[in-house]
Structure 1
Amino acid sequence: MFSKFQDWCNKVPLTLLWVCIYCGSIFYLVILLKLTSANILGVSLQTFLNQKVFAHSVTYYKGLHKALENMKICLS
């Protein structure tokens, strides 16, 4: 099964994969910021930045970056 995954990854340009994942991540963060700045969630942007959601976003980006680095090493 892992060899099938490797074959699939070799067919998909790694650069395209990076672009898709990072664009998706930026879109996710922008949506969170827009929801917060518009007070749809009932909190201000400053409150948002002080809460755990911001910490989770940072952790998400660090984890995403680490996973992409591991995948890059695995495929090279």
Structure 2
Amino acid sequence: MSEEQGVFEVRLGIYATREQAEEVKERIVRMLCPDPGHPPPCPIPWSVMLSDGPELEEDGLYDDLLEQARIEQPGAGSGAGPRTG
């Protein structure tokens, strides 16, 4: 049985500042492609994107994450909302 290739998405929600989220994104990039200067193509094509905004909270996808942040970080969840990526 051969396995067909396709596009898959790995989604990661984090409660962080924009700066922290950017650092996590860069770490993921380095894991996917530890040698950014190599000649193309990558053995496994990939892309990465950082998203934030109120729509991430509105769809309820990260309700558990927001609740965890409220419990673990006093003052979290009040005000501007989380930065997720």
TM-score by length of 2: 0.33
Flag the structure with more relative contact order, 1 or 2, with Cα contacts below 8 A and sequence separation at least 6. 2
- Scaled by the length of structure 1, the TM-score of the pair is 0.36
